[in-house]
Amino acid sequence: MSARNEPVPYEDLMSYRPPSDRDSGPRPPRPPRDDGPEQINLEDVIERIRAGLPNFSGRKAGGGLGLIILILGLVVAAIWLGSGVYTVAPDEQGVLRTWGKFVGTSEQGLHWHWPGPVGQTNVESVTQTRRLEVGFRGGSDGGTIAQTVPVESLMITGDENIVDVQMVVQYRIDDLPAFLFNVSDPGDVDRGIGTDRPEGRTLRDVAETALRQVVGARNIDDVLTTGKEQVQTETAIIMDDLLDSYAAGIGIVNVLLQNVNPPEEVRDAFEDVVRAQEDRDRLVNLANAYRADQIPRAVGRAAQITEAAQGFKDGRIALATGEAEGFREVLEGYLQSKEVTRQRLYLEAMERILPGMPKFILTDQAGGVLPFLPLTGGTNPVVPALGGTN
């Protein structure tokens, strides 16, 4: 074979440069240009970089490859160690694991922990209020009902009626290590909850169980009308107890009933019953208001009549007592002087019978008409004669 067909060593290929004018001698200075900024020559830049680097490709530099490997290893190690830097926000908490074992938690700030596969770091928000929907699935805005789930919402009440209850549960993570490691959960695809997080199927089952227990202990009227507040409160208490027994690390913030209705087939009849009950309550309230208005009025009138009667009684008693005292005094005067008392009583009687008229007293001793001094200032009529003993 000719020399033209002989293989060229790899090291010679790496160090080979084609001949050019640049290798024949020093490069003449570039003449200045006045038509704009200086243009960058890419080949010139590459040449300068290659000239500044040591020759690692020749056979004489036997340790060059090892140095490259060492540098690459250090770079990879630095990148690997740098990937362990993480940040915890003010509303978050971090959980640290080394070789899969829980080793501690971290609060807000910049931290470092062994990166995988040696260590793992989970950062979760522990102040965010999360939401679980039972009996329905909300729309994109989270408020409107996009789809009902009858298998969750239909339940039996204590009086053996069926009611459709939809509920929203608000919760937070109150123990992050327990939340992450204590419960094995299949997750909840509808809400995008992964496995081994108790806020998935576990929390939904707990909410449904608690709600069915509370509704099953009450009649349908309480659930539909007046007992909603009690249903919410008791459901939250039962959910807290169940989650604590699981050590799930979840705290219930609030339980809110959404739509509470009878089944669709009998909804019209139930609405008629509810309207009748509302009318009954309205009439009862009106009657209570009328009673509250009339009773004080009647009590006031009764007190007024009682006081008037008491005053009349006291007046009549006082008058009777005074008249009795007057009769007693007359009797005493009569017993002391019968004739004088008889004449005085007779004159007083005539004065009352004939008031305002002139009166004359005729006596047997006077032998004629004797004018009598008017006692009332007016003219008195003639009084029948008084006998000596009459």
DSSP string, 169-192: EEEEES-HHHHHHS-----BTTTT
Give the pLDDT score at 239. 96
Q: Inform me whether the pLDDT recorded for 10 exceeds 80.
A: no
218 within some domain: yes
Range from 30-34, 202-206, 213-217, 345-349 carrying the lowest mean pLDDT = 30-34
Q: How distant is the alpha carbon of residue 255 from its chain centre? A: 10
320 within some domain: no
Q: How far apart are CA 164 and CA 152, in angstroms?
A: 9
| Alpha-carbon dihedral sign for residues 196, 201, 207, 213 | negative
**Domain boundary residue, one of 228, 262, 296:** 262
Give the pLDDT score at 129. 93
31 within some domain: yes
Q: Tell me: do 248 and 150 sit in the same domain.
A: yes
Q: How many CB atoms lie within 10 A of CB 238?
A: 19
Strand ranges for the chain from DSSP E:
85-88, 92-98, 101-106, 109-112, 119-125, 130-134, 136-138, 145-148, 154-156, 162-173, 250-261, 360-362, 369-371
Q: How far apart are CA 188 and CA 207, in angstroms?
A: 14
Could you read off the pLDDT of 214-259 as tens digits, one per residue?
999 999 888 887 889 999 999 999 999 999 999 999 999 999 999 8
Q: How far apart are CA 230 and CA 132, in angstroms?
A: 20
Of the pLDDT bands very low, low, confident and very high (cuts 50, 70, 90), residue 139 is low
- Nearest of 153, 356, 378 to residue 257 by alpha carbon: 153
Q: For residues 42 and 305, which has the higher predicted lDDT (pLDDT)? A: 305
344 within some domain: no
Q: Tell me: do 152 and 169 sit in the same domain.
A: yes
| Alpha-carbon dihedral sign for residues 212, 218, 223, 226 | negative
**Domain boundary residue, one of 262, 285, 312:** 262
Q: Tell me: do 233 and 160 sit in the same domain.
A: yes
Q: Tell me: do 65 and 167 sit in the same domain.
A: no
Residue 105: which domain range? 85-125
Q: Tell me: do 121 and 134 sit in the same domain.
A: no
Q: Tell me: do 141 and 256 sit in the same domain.
A: yes
Of the pLDDT bands very low, low, confident and very high (cuts 50, 70, 90), residue 308 is very high
Q: How far apart are CA 235 and CA 232, in angstroms?
A: 5
Q: How far apart are CA 81 and CA 2, in angstroms?
A: 55
Q: Tell me: do 61 and 14 sit in the same domain.
A: yes
162 within some domain: yes
Range from 24-28, 49-53, 123-127, 242-246 carrying the lowest mean pLDDT = 24-28
Q: Tell me: do 138 and 105 sit in the same domain.
A: no
Tally of domains within the chain: 3
Of the pLDDT bands very low, low, confident and very high (cuts 50, 70, 90), residue 49 is low
Q: How distant is the alpha carbon of residue 336 from its chain centre? A: 96
288 within some domain: no
First-last CA distance in the chain: 198
Token pair of 88, please? Answer: 């915890």
Q: How far apart are CA 171 and CA 205, in angstroms?
A: 14
Q: Tell me: do 59 and 167 sit in the same domain.
A: no
Q: Tell me: do 160 and 209 sit in the same domain.
A: yes
Cβ within 8 Å of residue 213, ≥6 positions away: 238
